[in-house]
Chains A and B, each alone.
Chain A
Amino acid sequence: MFRTASVLAALAAVLVATMPVGGLAQNAPPSRLDDLLDRYAAGREPDLIATTFPDHVTFLDWRVELFTRAREWRESWQPVGATLLLEISFWGARQGWPEAYLISRAAEDLVTGRQAVLGAAPAQDQFEITFHRAALAWLVGARSLGQAEEYLRRVGNRLASASEPDAGDNRLRDPRVALTHGILAEAWTAPGALAPMSGSTRLPALAADARDGETRAHLGRALAALDSAAALPEVAEEATVRRAFVLHRLGRDEEALAALGLENAPADSTVRYWRHLFLGRVFEALARPAEAAAAYRAAADDWRGAQTPAVALAALFQRQGRAADARRWARVAGTAPLEVIDPWWHYWSGDLRFLPEWMADLRRSDP
Chain B
Amino acid sequence: MNDVNIRRRDFLKTSVGAAAVAIVPGMMLFDLSHGKPENASGKVRWGMLIDTTQCKTGCNDCVTACNNENGLSGGIRATDSQWIRKIELKSDSTRRELSLPMMCQHCENPPCVDVCPTTASFKRADGIVLVDKHRCIGCRYCMLACPYKARSFVHEPLHDQNPDVPRGKGTVEACTLCVHRVDQGIQPACSEACSNKAILFGDLNDPESEIAKKISSMASVQIRADLHLNPGIRYQGL
Task: State whether these chains interact.
Answer: no
State the B residues within 8 Å of A (CB): none
